[in-house]
Amino acid sequence: MVLNVIQSDDKGGCSETGHASQWSHEMRNNALLAGPERQLLLASHPLHDDIIEIKTPPIKCALLAIQEAIKFRRPGLSFVADCRHGKTTMMAMVSKAMAEMFPKVPYHIVTAAKHDKVTEKAVWSDVLLGFDIQAAGTAFDRKRAVRGSIITACKAVDGDAFVLYIDEAQNWGELEFNFLRDLTNELRQYSRRTLITVTVGDLKLKTVADSLRLLDKGLWSRFVRTVLTFSGISSMEDLRKVMSEYDSIQGCEYPKGSGVCYSEFFAPHAFGSGWRLANEAAFLWSALAGVATVHKRQLVDVGMQWIADSILAFLTLQLESDGAGFKPVQNDWIVAVESSQFETTFM
């Protein structure tokens, strides 16, 4: 069968002339025509990665909130979300976007760890570990090293603010936030630099926030007063938006520069004849709702993990059925949702 999809395009991405166009054309051929190149590309497709960077509506909301916090130098902002909702992905995506938006505001992501015994030394070691810097010396030394690193990062870009993204923040309590407050004060007082913290954690972070409100209002108001919920996909409309991202080369192009979006990569013939993944949103939502119904629950909020896994399973299972008249049925999505193990969320 001749792949007329190679020349087709309603995405408007391949209109350049000359070398760039030729190179892009070759990339398309490699990605879409059966052969060893396609097999290699398939094996390393970003959809198989742990972090799949797709701009979902909740991520866009988080981005706006963090943007505002940085712009107005708010000291702390928190996000809570249920497990597998894509908190870490959100942080990775947002931090990169913020770095582009505010080039004079350096950042780093650290992961808060739970320790049997909370000590200042352990906390600063974790932070230095996140900074990818050797931790050595006493607790005081380590804190100074953190301070030096933050000042260095600010100096490198001529900035006066630093954003510290803290993942798994539910592992921290009063003591850890106290240490962080001291550092923030020192930076502001002696170095005239602002430390903005963005804490992200699971639902337990809300409990931590509540206890801090009772124990130390200063800490609470500084770090976890504003707790925003990072929701999953909560409606079919949101799901359609997410799935339409797969159909767009704006954020979901693979290989880069080829003009091939994720859904076209997996079903090139179907895509060429007008099929779009976004149109499958109703089927997927229905399949997810079906699982919820079996467990006598309502479908309220679905984590991105399950959505991404279901879509990947669907696209992989349908590789063989790709063709001009490709018409998936509801059962295909039920199988895909099953393989994503979405059911485990109700157990």
Minimum CB separation of residue 110 from another protein in Å reads: 11
Name which of 23 and 190 has its Cβ closer to another protein: 190
Work out whether 63 is an interface residue with another protein (CB under 8 A): no
The only residue of 20, 22, 48, 148 in contact with another protein, by rule CB under 8 A = 148
Ordered strands of the 227-229 beta sheet: 107-111, 161-167, 194-201, 76-80, 227-229
Q: Are 242 and 233 in contact (CB under 8 A)?
A: yes
Q: Are 130 and 108 in contact (CB under 8 A)?
A: yes
Q: Would you call 115 exposed, middle or buried from its count of C-beta atoms within 10 A (0-12, 13-18, 19+)?
A: middle
Minimum CB separation of residue 23 from another protein in Å reads: 31
Collapsing DSSP states into helix, strand and coil, what is residue 9? coil
Single out the segment in contact with another protein by CB under 8 A; choices: 140-148, 251-259, 266-274, 330-338: 140-148
CA–CA separation, 240 and 285 (whole Å): 9
Work out whether 70 is an interface residue with another protein (CB under 8 A): no
Q: Which two tokens stand for residue 172?
A: 């921290």
The only residue of 115, 144, 188, 206 in contact with another protein, by rule CB under 8 A = 144
Collapsing DSSP states into helix, strand and coil, what is residue 162? strand
Work out whether 190 is an interface residue with another protein (CB under 8 A): yes
Phi first, then psi: what are they for 83, rounded to 5°?
-65, 155
Single out the segment in contact with another protein by CB under 8 A; choices: 52-60, 131-139, 225-233, 311-319: 131-139
Instruction: Tally the residues of the chain.
Output: 347
The only residue of 145, 198, 304, 312 in contact with another protein, by rule CB under 8 A = 145
Name which of 103 and 251 has its Cβ closer to another protein: 103
Work out whether 97 is an interface residue with another protein (CB under 8 A): no
The only residue of 33, 156, 175, 294 in contact with another protein, by rule CB under 8 A = 156
Collapsing DSSP states into helix, strand and coil, what is residue 120? helix
Work out whether 137 is an interface residue with another protein (CB under 8 A): yes
- CA 329 to chain CA centroid, Å, is 30
Work out whether 133 is an interface residue with another protein (CB under 8 A): yes
In the DSSP assignment, the letter for residue 5 is G
CA–CA separation, 212 and 174 (whole Å): 7
Single out the segment in contact with another protein by CB under 8 A; choices: 15-23, 57-65, 102-110, 233-241: 102-110
Name which of 109 and 278 has its Cβ closer to another protein: 109
Work out whether 185 is an interface residue with another protein (CB under 8 A): no
Single out the segment in contact with another protein by CB under 8 A; choices: 33-41, 80-88, 103-111, 288-296: 103-111
Work out whether 141 is an interface residue with another protein (CB under 8 A): yes
Work out whether 142 is an interface residue with another protein (CB under 8 A): yes
Q: Which two tokens stand for residue 318?
A: 């349908």
Per-residue x/- track, 229-268, another protein (CB under 8 A): ----------------------------------------
In the DSSP assignment, the letter for residue 78 is E
Q: Are 82 and 228 in contact (CB under 8 A)?
A: no
Collapsing DSSP states into helix, strand and coil, what is residue 130? helix
Q: Which residues bind another protein (CB under 8 A)?
A: 99, 103, 106-108, 131-134, 136-137, 140-145, 148-153, 155-157, 190-191
